Structure 1
Amino acid sequence: MTDSFDAGDATQVGERREKLKFKERGDGEQFKALMEQKPFRAFVWRLLAEAQVFQPIMTGNSYTFMNEGKRQIGLWVLEQINRICPDLYVVMAKEATAREAGNKQERNLMNV
């Protein structure tokens, strides 16, 4: 049996709105708790890179459509970060820069 909903009933609309706010707040708190963990931030940075959020996606063939689908997921994750914990984006970017510098230094040492 489905729950009936009358969009013209202000009381029902208000109740639905409150339930949605409560759910979004819970989801946001969970996401922020994950973003506060360094390993998760490293994972999210790799996910954003894999989703090609920071680079052009045009290939000139049908791979563009696949790339755009991946990019949409990455943009959604980025929007969640910007909405829920924008300060942690800066932390994540700095950590990624430091990781890349460390990786570059390791590669240089291996080439010596």
Structure 2
Amino acid sequence: MALEELDRSPFHAQAWRARKGYKLRRFIKIALSRRIVTDSIKIALVVGTALNLVNQGENLLHGGTISLLHMLLNYLVPYCVASYSAAKNEIELRDRDECECTPPEHNRPGQ
């Protein structure tokens, strides 16, 4: 493989992007996309409500004291997990599609 081919390889591009903080910026941009945020909010509302009922249900039903910190965390943690997993999945799908698109000259038989 010639040196100029190495410079154009996906591995070289990935190493360059990693040095420039590209991965973190890309992750944040994807995680804050409208689709992922709305889906994560929906998941957090369902899971967070279930967690609050399990963890503080008796206090909610009988008028006891409720920990607002725990209530907020019961919504925040599922939101973060849903956002993280959706963003990682989206990045993997995009990277796989990017790697499968090799130029036609590299796909000729006999090379």
Instruction: Establish whether TM, by shorter chain, passes 0.5.
Output: no
The structure having more radius of gyration, on CA atoms, is 2
TM-score (norm 1): 0.26
Pick the structure with more helix per residue.
Answer: 2
Query: If the length of structure 2 is used for normalisation, what is the TM-score?
Result: 0.26
